[in-house]
Amino acid sequence: MSDSSSSKCCGSLSYDFAHLLLRLWVGMRLFMAGLDKFRWGNGADTTFSIANYTDKKGPPIAKLMSTNSFMPEWACNAFASTIGYILIPVGIWVAIGIMTEFGLLAAGLVFLSLGFGLAALPDDTEVVSNIGLSILIVAAALVTSKAKSLSLDGILARKKA
């Protein structure tokens, strides 16, 4: 006879660890994607600045996006000029685990908007391979979000109890 009652009483942390890994991956991916928007150069010559972001995300990207989609150029320009500023705080929000489910929903919506932006570019192969996989990982993190004892939400909930 198996002793299933002992596994129920003590619980397993496997879902908590799975959720932590998924949440950290999503947060890191968003944060690093946002940071990359402010990067210019490689190796020792790398610099990070707002000027770099402005130079990289100028009108040529917006024009290319609007030419390849139904979106007007002003909307594409607004998207291109704000997405870097959205990626970094959402990445931190998800990694820390504050209001976990809403943070993951925001992450999924950001990845979806990135997917739309990439799909509006002529070479959209990254949409399925990178963005689609990221959305699946966000969905898996949402599915495991009940096991969030290793997030700030979970830690604060334990302290209240």
Question: Domain limits of the chain?
Answer: 21-160
Determine the pLDDT at residue 9. Answer: 45
pLDDT tens digit sequence for 100-121: 999 999 999 999 998 888 877 7
How far apart CA 92 and CA 89 sit, in angstroms, is: 5
Rounded CA-CA distance 86/110 in Å is: 8
- Distant-in-sequence contacts of 110-113, Cβ < 8 A, 24+ apart: 110/30, 110/83, 110/86, 111/30, 111/135, 111/138, 113/79, 113/83
How many other C-beta atoms lie within 10 A of the C-beta of residue 72?
11
Burial class from Cβ neighbours inside 10 Å (0-12, 13-18, 19+) for residue 95 reads buried
Region of residue 112 (phi > 0: left; psi between -120 and 50: alpha; otherwise: beta): alpha
Higher pLDDT, 98 or 55: 98
Q: How confident is the model at residue 5 (pLDDT cuts 50, 70, 90)?
A: very low
**Quick one: pLDDT at residue 134?**
92
What's the pLDDT at 41? 81
Indicate if the pLDDT at residue 7 is higher than 50. no
Residues 6+ apart with CB under 8 A from 22: 137, 140, 141, 144
- For 119-143, how does the pLDDT look when each residue is reduced to its tens digit (9 = 90+)? 777 776 767 678 889 999 999 999 9
Pairwise CA distance, residues 40 & 88, whole Å: 17
Quick check: pTM over 0.75? yes
Chain-centre distance for alpha carbon 138: 8
Residue 128 has a pLDDT of: 67
pLDDT category, 99, cuts 50, 70, 90? very high
